[in-house]
Amino acid sequence: MHPMLRRLDDLAAHLATRPDTVALLGLGSAGAEHDCLDAHSDLDFFLVVADDAAVPRYVESVDWLAAPCPVAYSFANERNGRKALYADGIFVEYAVFTVDELRRLPFTGARMVWQRPDAPAGLAECGPPARPATPYDTVEFHLNEALTNLYVGLHRELRGERLTAARFIQSYAVDRVLALLRLTAPAAAHRRDPFDPSRRVERAYPPEVLPLAEMVPGYRGNRDAARVTLGWLAARFPVDPVIATAIRALLAAEPEG
């Protein structure tokens, strides 16, 4: 058994001795698809507790978390959760909810690690239904978002605002590239994360399909990144010549100062 799964089992054994706990759900790589766990995985889970009063007790205190192994570092990162590092190097991120709170959460791929015999049925399948497709989840939308991200980003680069330029060119525009691949090459997806499209894309698309090293070269590479991404878009989709010409003019312009 992977050490992280064993840690969850040990944690569940301790939680079962506490009367105000209801269930423990593994998420992410500790969830239903736990075969992808490796040495670089985090341990994500939800703890379900009996009532509202128990939530702050389990968020503010880590005595229960330390039952299987000492906790070396932790901090509350939101009202319902903490991040922590065990002394043996296992990093955990977790949140604490009541049953009613859990039923209102969007999540997927959960695995029931432990639950009380009288726990409500279907806790691991809770969560609102998947969001319906919107009129803006289209090739046309993502293509033009990517192009305008490049345009705005290059203007900021020319102004000397390199960090925000990098976000527009090497982050926001690349997010739209991933959306375009999702819509036009869905069979290539490798266990796509519905909450973070950047996860596992390197396994899904080889460099000749998605040249990430050229699209995301770093802080000083905004112009080169914009040039590569524009070329990638133009080679695959009908890019409007007006915005393409405007982007190329910015690529040829001299920065201020």
Q: Is the pLDDT of residue 249 over 80?
A: yes
Q: How far is CA 135 from CA 27, 132, 139, 142, 149, in A?
A: 30, 10, 11, 11, 20
Q: Is the pLDDT of residue 198 over 70?
A: no
Q: What gap in Å lies between CA 250 and CA 156, rounded to an integer?
A: 10
pLDDT for 195: 60
Q: Number of helices and strands (H, E) in the chain?
A: 10, 6
Q: What gap in Å lies between CA 36 and CA 44, rounded to an integer?
A: 13
String of DSSP letters for 18-52: -TTEEEEEEEGGGTTTGGG--TT--EEEEEEESST
User: Which pLDDT tens digit goes with each residue over 109-151?
Assistant: 899 999 999 999 999 886 655 555 667 889 999 999 999 999 9
Q: Decide which of 162 and 4 is more confident.
A: 162
SS3 track for 44-82: EEEEEECCCCHHHHHHHCCCCCCCCCCEEEEEEEECCEE
Mean pLDDT, residues 45-59 taken together: 96
Do residues 113 and 12 lie in contact, with contact meaning Cβ atoms separated by under 8 Å?
A: yes
Is 15 strand, coil or helix?
helix
Of 78-82, 206-210, 213-217, 239-243, where does mean pLDDT reach its minimum?
A: 206-210
pLDDT for 149: 97
Do residues 7 and 42 lie in contact, with contact meaning Cβ atoms separated by under 8 Å?
A: no
